[in-house]
Amino acid sequence: MKIVACYSNKGGVGKTATAVNLAHAAAASGLRVLLCDLDPQGASGFYFRIKPSKKLKDESFFKDVKRFIDAIRGSDFDNLDVLPANMTFRDFDIFLSRMKNGRSRLKKALKAVNADYDVIVLDCPPNISALSENVFKAADRIVVPVIPTTLSERTFEQLLQFFADHRLNRRKLIAFFSMVQARKTLHQDTMARLRQLYAGQFLSAVIPFSTDIEKMGQHRAPVATFAGSRQAGQAYGALWQEVRARL
C-alpha cells in the first residue's frame, strides 16, 4: 500500500481537485483506492456525493480502528472508497499534540486498512501543523500543487525550508504547476525559473486553469467523468501516470 498526500501549506491551490481526480484516475486503472479527507471542510466527500461521517469524531480517528473502518464509504466508482471528513477534524492538531507518539498517529491509523487498498490518497488542509507533520511522516509521496505566481512560489520555499529545518525527507515532495494560464507571461516565466531552480522536483504534467475543473462542483464528480477527452481530463490522467511512476 502506498500513501499519496495532496498537500500545500497554501489554501485554494487545487489540493482537493488533485486528490479527487488522482484518486479517480488510480481507481480507473484498476488499483484499489481509498481517498481519505483530512480537511474538516469535507470538500472531497462533497465531490463524491458522500455525507460527512458522524461517528468518527474527536480522537476516535486515531484510536478506534473499528470506527475508522466503519466510517469508510463506497463511491459511485469501482475500486474507489472514501473516508469523508467532518467538522471535528478541525481539532486534530489539539488531539495529536496531546497524544503519545503524536507524529506517527496517522501512519498507525492508516495501517488498519493496509491490506484493503493499493493506494491511499490524502486530501490535506492547508497549514503546517501537528497533522501535517503526521502527513509528512505517513506519506510515501507528497504531491504539492504550485500556482506559478510569486506568493505560491514563496509558500513552496517555506515548505522546503520546513523540511530542511526538521530533517524531513525532501525527496518525498513532488510538485507540479496548478491552475496554469499558459498565455500569462508571469506563469510562463515563473515555471521556467522554478523548473531550473528545483531541477527534478517539478513534474512535467501541468494542470491548466480550466472551467471544466471548476464545474466539478456542479457535477459533483471527477473531471474525467464529464470532460475526459478535454484538456483538463487528460491532464489529470498524465499527472497520475507521473506520480505512479514515482511511487
Ligand X SMILES: Nc1ncnc2c1ncn2[C@@H]1O[C@H](COP(=O)(O)OP(=O)(O)O)[C@@H](O)[C@H]1O
Question: Which spans of this chain sit near ligand X (rule: CB under 6 A)?
Answer: 11-17, 43, 178-179, 207, 209-210, 213-214, 217
Burial class (CB in 10 A: 0-12, 13-18, 19+), 205: middle
Q: How many residues bind Mg ion (CB under 5 A)?
A: 3
- Identify what 24 binds: Mg ion, ligand X, none; CB under 5 to 8 Å per kind: none
C-beta of 221: minimal distance to ligand X in Å? 13
Dihedral, CA of residue 102, residue 108, residue 110 and residue 111, to nearest 10: 170
Phi, psi of 49 (to 5 degrees): 60, 35
- Identify what 210 binds: Mg ion, ligand X, none; CB under 5 to 8 Å per kind: ligand X
C-beta of 11: minimal distance to Mg ion in Å? 7
C-beta of 225: minimal distance to ligand X in Å? 15
- Identify what 11 binds: Mg ion, ligand X, none; CB under 5 to 8 Å per kind: ligand X
Which residue from 13, 5, 4 is spatially nearest to 152, judged by alpha carbons?
13
Q: Please give the residue whose beta carbon sits closest to Mg ion in the complex.
A: 16
Burial class (CB in 10 A: 0-12, 13-18, 19+), 164: exposed
Tell me, residue by residue from 10 to 49, as one string, x for binding to Mg ion by CB under 5 A and - for no binding. -----xx--------------------------x------
d(CA 206, CA 145): 9
- Identify what 227 binds: ligand X, Mg ion, none; CB under 5 to 8 Å per kind: none
Q: Which three cell numbers stand for residue 174?
A: 513532488
**Which residues form the interface with Mg ion (CB under 5 A)?**
15-16, 43
